[in-house]
A and B are shown apart, each in its own frame.
Chain A
Amino acid sequence: MAADGHGHSPIEQFEIKELLPINIFGVDASLTNSGAFMLVALGIIFSFLYFSTGGRNLVPTRMQSVSELIYEFVANTVRENVGTKGMHFFPFVFSIFIFVLVLNLLGMIPIPGITFTVTSHIAVTAALALLVIGIVIAYGVYKHGLGFFGIFVPSGVPAALLPLLVPIEIISFISRPISLSVRLFANMLAGHIALKIFAGFVGLLLGAGFWSILAPLPLALTVALTALELLVAVLQAYVFAVLTCIYLNDAVHGSH
């Protein structure tokens, strides 16, 4: 796309590049820039949590209180949405939250040619959403047996309406992983495309003679959008975690 030397395509940043070809028994498991960024995120999460909580001070240092804040924030989210019974899902929700959060934030660091937003690919977000919904179904069936599927039968409804309402409930359930993955992926994708387009306007206007006096306008907009995208990055990680909790609530407590 950028072969002509000028005008980078706004979707060039989402291109997946192979860094290290790996082939395991005919399965293409090459390390791509997407996988590399996930590994970097894991490294950041692990080293941050390990070193910030290593001191175990009663009066926390700054870094320790950051990890404690994240811990308590997620713990409160789980407790509010699933209840104390759901606290053994805390490690799962915490992992998902911090993984998505760090991936979103890593995508906001502008390094030309390298920066890659892993969560802007639906393959990644759909895998996460399917993991969540798979755990909900597996745990729900394990806990309540076939009674788990009672969540498809709304209570207090005349039997004549059930043939209409049960399909609606089933479609509503199937749409959960889809809206969960599409929301995260679409927000990241749209945000990064918008940023790239407005940043591109700056360069185009600068080369437009007299009209280059307008160039600061899209620049200011890019700065504002960057702030908005930071908010969206954190918010979408939070929304993903909250929805995970709400869906887990069905699995833990059965029909509503």
Chain B
Amino acid sequence: MAPADKGPNDRDGQISPDERAEFKRRSAEIGRRLEAARSEPGSDRGEPKKGGNDHGEVMGRALRLSTELIGGIVVGAAIGWYLDTYLMPNVFGTKTWPLMFIIFFLLGSAAGMLNVVRAGMKIKTGPSDPSKGKAVPDDDDDI
């Protein structure tokens, strides 16, 4: 720090390219050391998502799948049944049973599959990790 601490008045706060390079080198060095310390197996700091937590996350996602499928089928069948027994006979005066029930049961099954596929895609790609990237952000980088 000694050479850069001479005071702001002589160079209006400007720093030379050499010093900028030196800052960058040091920030990269700190970043490297932080990464090394974080990835050390014995350390319990940093990266709280890794380790035992991961199992819970994957298991939680896996447990979703069955109810997602059943939810879609039940909702589709319920809508179809409602249309057949209440709406169609009372509003339009037509007997549609079991046409609507069958149609909406199939649509509901498709919706259930869609739910499962969406939940499954989440498992495959996994969550994006915002902590990845530079360990020490450098506000000089926009130059």
Residues of A within 8 A of B (CB): 69, 72-73, 76, 79-81, 164, 167-169, 171-172, 174-176, 178-179, 182-183, 186-187, 231, 234-236, 238-239, 242-243, 246
Is the beta-carbon distance between A168 and B71 smaller than 8 angstroms?
Answer: no
Q: In the bound complex, what is the Cα–Cα distance between A90 and B53 (angstroms)?
A: 20
Contacts of A243 in B (CB 8 A): 64
Is the beta-carbon distance between A182 and B67 smaller than 8 angstroms?
Answer: yes
Contacts of B122 in A (CB 8 A): 246
Interface SS, B side: helix
Q: In the bound complex, what is the Cα–Cα distance between A242 and B49 (angstroms)?
A: 14
Say whether B127 faces chain A, with CB atoms less than 8 Å apart: yes
Residue picked from B49, B59, B71, most chain A C-beta under 10 Å: B71
B76 to chain A, nearest CB (A): 5
Query: B58-69 interface mask toward A, CB cutoff 8 Å, 1 = contact, 0 = none?
Result: 011101100110
Return the 4 tightest CB-CB contacts between A and B, nearest first. A179-B71, A175-B71, A171-B111, A172-B111
Contact A175/B49 with A81-B127, A168-B114 known, Cβ cut-off 8 Å: no
Beyond the given pairs A169-B111, A239-B63, 9 more chain A to chain B contacts, judged by CB atoms under 8 angstroms and listed by A's residue number, are A73-B48, A80-B127, A168-B107, A172-B112, A178-B74, A179-B68, A235-B56, A239-B61, A242-B61
Is the beta-carbon distance between B72 and A171 smaller than 8 angstroms?
Answer: yes
Task: Pull 19 A–B residue pairs with CB atoms less than 8 Å apart, ordered by A.
Answer: A76-B48, A80-B127, A80-B128, A81-B127, A164-B107, A168-B114, A171-B76, A172-B112, A175-B68, A175-B75, A175-B112, A178-B71, A179-B67, A179-B68, A179-B71, A183-B63, A183-B67, A238-B56, A239-B64
